[in-house]
Structure formats: structure tokens, C-alpha cells
């Protein structure tokens, strides 16, 4: 998964810290064992010396290196057997043995050039922390309340608001549950306070929990980053744009709340085009209709949003107002 530089750096630092903690744990265990059974310390010192002496003898005295190393190996084998027998009298198997934090990658976080699942797991944790730090609220599918939406038939909609929102909720659940590369794109359209940000956040959390990278940006923040990368380029801004481009899922919340302009229109179209080319999924939430999008960003941008995204309608009454009236 395409985790960004910040997430991977935090995860690698966490892995390094875990390795240090494992080493310190072993050091404390060995010190305790040496106090209780001094012979264990003597054996460990002999194990280290035997190989060192064998190498020295082979290089300085011209001895047959294969024979010398085999002799040292046999000595160490006898010592290791004695060590294991002494340790087994007091400790469980492996208690005093040095072992890597991960048996797959040895604790490096990578198997060749591929990220190991141990580092992937830490990346997923760091990404979840980042989402939580954004104060997005306790937004999960299970806490989305359909009872805020009327059950009465609405002639202009052709359905009741609740039936429409139930379909919208189910679509979001299915999108998140089956999320993978090329899962498609969603366009959330509806008035203020109808649950667009709530469900976008719920999808973000569910997708992130599956180990996929998520970049969640409000429209104002998004265009600020793109503007900084364009007019004040640097390493940080370059990485921000890479994240926007390469994240498995990009969420643009409240499109239309930013100040309009030629740069906003061109950068939005460029970002949409690049992610569509790469097959990277997006969710865009907006209060704007097709005609309003076309007027604000050009018909070409509106066509991309309505043509390459699955449209999900959000209808009903402002939930924030309903909550304030009926807390």
C-alpha cells in the first residue's frame, strides 16, 4: 500500500524502538540469569571467544581455516548444550536467546524491497492515529443514525429521504468492505448537515483499518497544499503532493468552500486526471449541483466528477439543527 513518507518514517521509528526494547529486555534477563547461575555467563563468554580465537589462529598461524572453524564449532556445540540444560532448569525455552523482533524480516521492516507485514501493521496504526488526531469525531457506519431522516414519501425525490439514505449508507459500507486498487470513486452531493462528512470519515476509517493508505483533506487545506507546492516548492510540499497523488484513497471534503480561481480549477482538474490515470480511488463531497460545479470549475471538471464517480445523494433536513433541537 502507498503509505506516505511521514507515516512510514513514524512506523520505522516505532519498529526501531521495539527492537531496542527487545534488546534491553534480553539484557535484563541475562543479567538476572548470570546472578542466579554464574556458569551461564562463563559459557556465553567462551562461546564468543572460541570463534574469535579460531579466526585469529587461522589468519596468523596459517592453520587450515576449515579444520580450525570446525573444531571451534564442535566446542561451541557442547557449550550450547550445557547452556540450554542450565537455562531449562530455571527458564522457559528461548527465554535467554536473542531473537529478532520479526522472524520474517529480522526486524528490518523489509524483505528485499518489499515492506514486511510487521512494518505494514505499524504503518496502519500510525495512519489510524493520524486520522484520530484530525478530530473527525466518532464517525463509524454503526453510529450513523437513519432515524434523523424522514420516512414520509417525498414526491420531488420519488422516495422517502430515509430510503435514499439507507441505500447511500449501504453503498458506502460495501465500498469500504470491498476496497482494493481501482475500487472506483464516489461523489457525495447534498445540502449542509446531511451526513456527507460523517460517511466520508466512516469510509476513511474502515479503509485505513484494512491496511490501505488514506489521505483526507478539506478543500481549503487541499488547495493550500497544491498552491504551496506550485509557488513555494520544497521537499515537504513535494511529499504532500505525492501523498495526494499516490494514496490508495483520497477524500476531498467540502469541495466548493475554497476561494475560486484559475489555479484552483486547473489544479483540481490535474489532480483528478492523474488519479484517474493511476486507477486511484477518490471520494469528493460537495454541496454543489452539476450546474454549479460546471459554472465554478468549468464543464470539463463537472463532467469528470459526474462521469467517473458514482453519485450518492444526501437528502433530508440539517441533522445539526435536529440535534440541537432534540439533543
Asked if residues 18 and 119 have their Cβ atoms less than 8 Å apart, the reply is no
Averaged pLDDT of the chain: 89
Domain edges within the chain:
5-111, 134-325
Nearest to 243 by CA among 135, 127, 119, 71: 127
pLDDT over 60 (residue 327): no
Tens digit of pLDDT for each residue in 233-244? 888 888 889 989
Those residues whose C-beta lies under 8 Å from the C-beta of residue 4, and which sit 6 or more positions away, are 213, 215, 239, 242, 243, 246, 247
Tens digit of each residue's pLDDT (9 = 90 or more) over 168-213: 999 999 999 999 888 899 999 999 999 999 999 999 999 998 889 9
How much helix, strand and coil, in percent to the nearest 5, is found in the chain?
Answer: 60, 10, 30
What is the mean pLDDT of the segment spanning 118-134? Answer: 83
pLDDT exceeds 80 at position 136: no
List the grid coordinates of 311: 453519485
Taking the C-alpha atoms of residue 169 and residue 99, their distance in angstroms, rounded to an integer, is 47
pLDDT of residue 326: 65
| Cα–Cα distance, 61 to 70 (Å, whole number) | 16
Rg (CA), the chain: 30
pLDDT of residue 324: 67
Provide the percentage of residues in the chain whose pLDDT is more than 70: 96
Please tell me the predicted confidence (pLDDT) of residue 231.
87
Is pLDDT above 70 for 63? Answer: no
Q: Are 216 and 202 in contact (CB under 8 A)?
A: no
Say whether pLDDT at 56 is over 90.
no
Topology given in CATH for the domain delimited by 134-325: Rossmann fold (3.40.50)
- Those residues with Cβ within 8 angstroms of residue 268's Cβ, 6 or more apart along the chain or in another chain: 223, 255, 297, 301
Per-residue pLDDT for 41 more than 80? yes
Mean pLDDT of 102-112: 90
Position 135 confidence tier, pLDDT thresholds 50, 70, 90: low
The backbone torsions φ and ψ at residue 177, rounded to the nearest 5 degrees and listed phi first, read -65, -35
Contact 87, 33 (CB under 8 A): yes
290-305 average pLDDT score: 96
The arithmetic mean of pLDDT across residues 41-59, rounded, is 83
Mean pLDDT of 34-38: 91
Q: How far apart are CA 289 and CA 306, in angstroms?
A: 10
Amino acid at each position: 500500500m502507498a503509505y506516505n513518507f511521514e507515516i512510514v518514517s513514524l512506523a520505522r521509528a516505532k519498529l526501531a524502538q521495539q527492537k531496542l526494547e527487545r534488546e534491553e529486555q534480553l539484557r535484563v534477563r541475562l543479567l538476572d540469569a548470570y546472578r542466579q547461575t554464574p556458569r551461564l555467563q562463563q559459557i556465553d563468554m567462551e562461546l564468543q571467544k572460541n570463534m574469535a580465537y579460531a579466526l585469529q589462529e587461522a589468519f596468523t598461524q596459517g592453520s587450515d581455516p576449515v579444520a580450525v572453524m570446525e573444531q571451534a564449532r564442535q566446542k561451541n556445540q557442547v557449550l550450547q548444550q550445557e547452556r540450554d540444560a542450565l537455562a531449562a532448569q530455571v527458564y522457559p525455552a528461548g527465554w535467554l536467546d536473542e531473537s529478532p523482533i520479526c522472524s520474517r524480516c529480522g526486524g528490518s521492516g523489509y524483505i528485499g524491497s518489499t515492506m514486511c507485514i510487521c512494518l505494514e501493521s505499524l504503518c496502519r496504526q500510525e495512519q489510524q492515529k493520524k486520522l484520530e488526531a484530525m478530530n473527525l469525531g466518532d464517525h463509524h457506519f454503526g453510529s450513523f443514525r437513519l432515524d434523523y431522516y424522514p420516512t414520509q414519501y417525498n414526491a420531488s425525490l420519488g422516495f422517502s429521504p430515509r430510503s435514499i439514505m439507507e441505500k447511500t449508507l449501504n453503498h458506502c459500507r460495501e465500498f469500504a468492505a470491498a476496497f482494493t486498487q481501482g475500487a472506483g470513486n464516489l461523489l457525495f452531493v447534498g445540502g449542509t448537515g446531511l451526513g456527507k462528512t460523517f460517511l466520508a470519515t466512516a469510509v476513511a476509517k474502515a479503509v485505513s483499518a484494512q491496511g490501505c493508505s488514506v489521505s483526507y483533506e478539506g478543500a481549503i487545506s487541499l488547495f493550500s497544499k497544491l498552491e504551496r507546492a506550485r509557488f513555494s516548492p520544497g521537499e515537504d510540499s513535494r511529499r504532500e503532493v505525492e501523498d495526494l497523488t499516490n494514496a490508495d484513497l483520497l477524500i476531498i471534503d467540502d469541495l466548493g468552500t475554497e476561494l475560486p480561481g484559475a489555479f484552483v480549477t486547473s489544479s483540481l482538474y490535474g489532480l483528478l486526471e492523474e488519479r484517474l490515470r493511476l486507477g486511484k480511488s477518490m471520494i469528493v463531497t460537495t454541496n454543489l449541483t452539476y450546474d454549479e460545479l460546471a459554472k465554478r470549475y468549468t464543464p470539463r471538471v463537472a463532467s469528470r466528477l459526474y462521469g467517473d464517480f458514482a453519485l450518492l445523494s444526501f437528502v433530508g433536513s440539517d441533522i445539526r439543527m435536529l440535534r440541537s433541537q432534540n439533543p
